[in-house]
Structure 1
Amino acid sequence: MAKQSGNERDLTLDKVRIRLRGDLLIDLSVSVAAGEILTIMGPSGSGKSTLLSFLGGFLSSEFEAEGRILLQGRDVTKLPAEKRHIGILFQDPLLFPHMSVGDNLSFGLASSLRGAKRRGHIEAALDHIEMTGFADRDPATLSGGQKARVALARILLSNPCALLLDEPFSKLDANLRQQMRHWVFEEARQRALPILLVTHDEADADAAGGRVIRLDVPKLVTG
């Protein structure tokens, strides 16, 4: 049986090391508590997105990884991405262009939820993100902020146990960026999710509060 983390709702990285062609990119042991936002900062090439790929379960085979990922006391390291119950919000909303807004949200719901109950969950999610009546809209007609809200709502409808944020505010204008930071962080905290944010923007870290881990670009192995 996997060793339990200190808190049953923690996200724990236990001696996680990731290498690329022998070069050590990530060497990290840390726990993120329920409702806490841990910020990982660093320039391009420091391994931020690589770390999220490992946590999310889609790390490229060119990397070598060791260590464990514990979520709610379970060792999920070897589980496929869809069984980890880890939500990821990327820089781009990644809405399905051939689906309506409602169908995009439906994608986050369990297949066992059908009919009126399914539609009710979708409408409630739209009400919550102040987009009532948008179920039949084409995602292409949405503003950047609306797309970001739909993307997060879709993730939250899947009931994740942890949330990863991959610079999700970087493509928004300054006013909207501040608004979205507050909304995303507040939503995640209210749901008591452990949150790991990767960014190169100091303003993101300031808005998140809490601990910050700074990564450097690794020195390459020579010889």
Structure 2
Amino acid sequence: MADGLGLSNVTIHRGETCLLSVDTHINRGEALTIMGPSGSGKSTLLSYITGSLDLAFKAAGSVTLDGEEIDTKPAHLRQIGILFQDDLLFPHMSVGANLSFGLDRSIPRVERKDRINAALDSVGLAGFFDRDPATLSGGQRARVSLMRTLLSDPKALLLDEPFSRLDQDLRQQVRELVFNHAKAQSLPVLLVTHDMDDAQAAGGAILRLDR
């Protein structure tokens, strides 16, 4: 099987209703956008891929990552990164402490801090290690959230409408940041959105859901 994220005959049901059926492959460094109205199963598909599907739904089909089936693995072993609408930063922790959650616990303390500072510097946030998340702007929070995800060394990146709460100017900046970093790391990217501008910024194919 080819490297990247594969969805082979994946179906999502709620009761007797089939919400979606997807059969596709996303190569490393490429993106696929799934567009559809609320209730069409977009976010539910991401939950299936990450291993966090709600028991109200039933799913079938194979999810592969770099040729290895992962749909039977525990969520924490799937090596899938995901960004949501909300940045989900821990308010009681510094920026650096938030980012440390993305790193393997076996990494020595000094190296952890070096990696975090390098990550902050790469998104224009040098010197923010000790900052309180409450003092950050929306764009800064989005950048911290992205780097926390990338520090976990994912093999694929899922985007659950992460730009939808940003104003137009900031949205464009954060989109560019996310897709540039994902491409630099050769990650397959799966974006779900209502917004055509998001889809066009992602590049790649667009899959439209009817429901």
TM-score w.r.t. the length of structure 1 is 0.93
1:125 is matched with which residue? 119
Q: Which amino acid aligns with 2:125?
A: M
Name the SS of the counterpart of 1:189 in structure 2: helix
2:146 is matched with which residue? 152
Match 1:11 to one of 5, 8, 12: 5
Distance 1:52 1:115 in 2: 33
Quote the offset at 1:98 in angstroms: 1.3
1:112 is matched with which residue? 106
Q: Which amino acid aligns with 2:30?
A: E
Name the SS of the counterpart of 2:149 in structure 1: helix
Quote the offset at 1:129 in angstroms: 1.0
Distance 1:209 1:114 in 2: 38
Quote the offset at 1:71 in angstroms: 0.3
1:32 is matched with which residue? 26
Quote the offset at 1:216 in angstroms: 1.9
Quote the offset at 1:126 in angstroms: 0.8
Q: Which amino acid aligns with 1:51?
A: L
Quote the offset at 1:21 in angstroms: 0.7
1:47 is matched with which residue? 41
TM-score w.r.t. the length of structure 2 is 0.98
Name the SS of the counterpart of 1:94 in structure 2: coil
1:221 is matched with which residue? none
1:220 is matched with which residue? none
1:139 is matched with which residue? 133
Quote the offset at 1:56 in angstroms: 1.0
- Number of positions where the alignment pairs a residue of Structure 1 with one of Structure 2: 211
Of all paired residues, the percent bearing the same amino acid is 57
1:66 is matched with which residue? 60
Quote the offset at 1:122 in angstroms: 0.9
Distance 2:135 2:38 in 1: 32
Q: Which amino acid aligns with 1:199?
A: T
Distance 1:166 1:75 in 2: 22
Does 2:195 align with 1:186?
A: no
Name the SS of the counterpart of 1:156 in structure 2: helix
Quote the offset at 1:80 in angstroms: 1.3
Match 2:78 to one of 73, 84, 94: 84
Distance 1:26 1:154 in 2: 30
> Which has the greater radius of gyration?
1
Quote the offset at 1:143 in angstroms: 0.6
Name the SS of the counterpart of 1:171 in structure 2: coil
Q: Which amino acid aligns with 2:99?
A: L
Distance 1:144 1:79 in 2: 34
Q: Runs of 4 or more off by more than 4 Å in structure 1?
A: none
Quote the offset at 1:207 in angstroms: 1.1
Distance 1:38 1:14 in 2: 15
1:43-84 C-alpha deviation (Å, 9 max, x unpaired): 111111111111111000111111110001110001111100
Distance 1:157 1:10 in 2: 19
Q: Which amino acid aligns with 1:139?
A: P
1:143-191 C-alpha deviation (Å, 9 max, x unpaired): 1110000001001101000000000100001001011111110110110
